Structure 1
Amino acid sequence: MIFDIDIHLRRGDRDIACRIRSDSGIIALFGPSGVGKTSTLNMIAGLLRPDHGHIAIGAQRLFDSHAGIDIAAARRRCGYVFQEPRLFPHMRVRANLRYGAARPSPDQTYIIQESVLIDLLGIQALLDRWPSSLSGGEAQRVAIGRALLSAPQFLLMDEPISSLDEGRRLEILAMVERLHRLMAIPIVYVSHDLREIDHLGGDIISIE
């Protein structure tokens, strides 16, 4: 089982709950704004603690309230791509990519060479530029590259193309699909747009 997740969190007057059991390499969390999709991602990443439940991805059990397991966010080996690229404005693209890059170790399942990733993302020509000079699609490709160079065990993507135009959206979606196929890295992808999810395939979890 790639994804085995059953979590619950009470925030104010809202209950946020999500249950996933799937062998699909891509999970899409679908639903309107404000229903808890980002909070669910943050619980998987370790940035929010569920009130109860469990989170397991692959062979790694990240959280289990019954067993007293709660792996710190920094040790979950999670690549997180936010809705905004969040690149460091004082660093050129190459430095942004390398920020937090992992050193190879025997237990890293998903790892890719920097040069190979740069080719896959098509960002060779961007390496010496400043983030302020990038288009939205270019910046998001760099953000995805930075997340992948950290050698994550899984990737979380929070509406990463919602601010892009239609052409750039299709370009990034095709790239994500290609990266998943080549690297076999589990992905949880958040969207409120069914067209995006249809392009990616995988299992759809509807949060209401």
Structure 2
Amino acid sequence: MSRREAPPGAEAPGLDVRLAGRRGGFALDAAFTAPARGVTALFGPSGSGKTSLLRSIAGLVRLAGRVVAGGEVWQEGERFVPPHRRAVGYVFQEASLFAHLTVEANLVYGARRTEGGVDAGLRREVVALLSLAPLLSRSTADLSGGERQRVAIGRAILSRPRLMLMDEPLSGLDHLAKNEILPFLERLGSSLDLPILYVSHDLAEIERLADRIVVVEDGRIRAAGGLNAALTDVGLGFVRDPRAAAVLPARVTAYAAEDGLSELDLCGQSLFVEGIGAAEIGIERRVRIAASDVSLARAPLGPSTILNALRVEIVAIEPGTGAADLAILLALEGAADFTFVAKVTRRSAGRLELAVGDRLFAQIKSVSLATSPMPRSR
């Protein structure tokens, strides 16, 4: 495959997109970058242009602009690399496997048609990553929805793409199938050395899987950047949602086998969570803090069943979704970028006389793991 490299200078992002044009009566105008590895979510309501944007990046729809993946220019000016020459691994809502072929044959189908054929070492890694070994000799007709998607993802990876595009891969699955495949999707961001664009309108999926987010609205990019920065950006409105949450990185520092809890360091403050063993001491994990699980106090936490209390400062006070509640945006003491939200009633806020700039204690009823280990830096 002929290549045209990006200009020399600072290291290029994994993906650089600048696209604009019309599809029928729908106008798309999108510009964003994504890092060289990890999951970047395209989030927005149905009809906002997420899938059209994905198809344009793949070259299936031609819009004016620029697309650069892994330093290779796929589109700029008059240059337009056709879809079949773009090293894209595309996973659709429906797995679309070949019914007459076994899982093994489906898995390597695309790779056999690439330069160099099937990479045996990569095949072993993919089979292990997606736990496909027990399925290889089976007919695709005998697979569950989650199993079919795992095969489709494996097939896309084995084509050795520069970019993975995943268009709502869980939308056609029931709750049990989603829970079956989510752990495998979690592993991809930390295991694959390439950018992944993941389309969804389900914020819970994105909180669990994504490192960054691109918010799409009416064909335009409303925001693009780190996941938690968007989740706690008062201008985007996520903080006012009843299901508002924050996703923050924390490092595992200790494990107490007697009570099954691990201690995590969150910018010098301690969090206690379950579900992590001693083997992960020293590893960075992401934790999810739901706004509904946070209460505020002016005095340090006394004897209580609540284990987690963080020193915080009020950054903003926003109306909630109801007449009685408020969304309080908090930053960790000494760490302005580490923000999360507390949902409190107006009456409680009035009793405590809460104001921007106040230093408080945030008592957290429950802290859950948001995902598998954080992606390794390149």
**TM above 0.5, one fold?**
yes
Please list the CA deviations of residues 42-95 of structure 1 after superposition, one character each: whole Å capped at 9, or x if unmatched: 111111101x2111122111111x3x2111111111000000000011111111
Within the candidate set 158, 172, 189, 2:198 is matched to 189
Q: Which one-letter code corresponds to 1:145 in the other structure?
A: G
Once the two structures are TM-superposed, the CA of residue 2 in structure 1 deviates from its matched residue by 2.1
Out of 30-39 and 167-176, give the one that drifted further. 167-176
| Secondary structure at 1:207 match in 2 | strand
Quote the residue 2:185 is aligned against.
Answer: 176
- Residues 67 and 73 of structure 2 are in contact (CA less than 8 Å); yes or no, is this contact kept in structure 1? yes
Quote the residue 1:89 is aligned against.
Answer: 99
Quote the residue 1:27 is aligned against.
Answer: 40
Within the candidate set 19, 25, 49, 1:7 is matched to 19
Out of 117-126 and 151-160, give the one that drifted further. 117-126
Unmatched tracts of structure 1, length 5 or more = none
What percentage of aligned pairs have identical amino acids?
Answer: 45
Once the two structures are TM-superposed, the CA of residue 111 in structure 1 deviates from its matched residue by 9.2
Quote the residue 1:62 is aligned against.
Answer: 74
Question: 1:131, 1:76 → 2: CA distance?
Answer: 27
Aligned length: 201
- Residues 114 and 149 of structure 1 are in contact (CA less than 8 Å); yes or no, is this contact kept in structure 2? yes
- Relative to its length, the structure with more strand (as a share) is 2
Once the two structures are TM-superposed, the CA of residue 97 in structure 1 deviates from its matched residue by 0.5
Within the candidate set 203, 206, 213, 1:204 is matched to 213
Once the two structures are TM-superposed, the CA of residue 139 in structure 1 deviates from its matched residue by 0.4
| Secondary structure at 2:205 match in 1 | helix
| Secondary structure at 2:111 match in 1 | coil
Q: Which one-letter code corresponds to 2:27 in the other structure?
A: D
Within the candidate set 62, 85, 89, 1:75 is matched to 85
1:162 aligns with 2:174: no
Unmatched tracts of structure 2, length 5 or more = 1-12, 218-378
Once the two structures are TM-superposed, the CA of residue 18 in structure 1 deviates from its matched residue by 1.7
Change (3 A) 1:193 1:112: farther
Question: 2:142, 2:73 → 1: CA distance?
Answer: 41
Q: Which one-letter code corresponds to 1:37 in the other structure?
A: K
Change (3 A) 1:91 1:146: same
Question: 1:33, 1:112 → 2: CA distance?
Answer: 39
Question: 2:181, 2:21 → 1: CA distance?
Answer: 32
TM-score (norm 2): 0.50
| Secondary structure at 1:139 match in 2 | helix
- Relative to its length, the structure with more helix (as a share) is 1
Once the two structures are TM-superposed, the CA of residue 183 in structure 1 deviates from its matched residue by 2.2
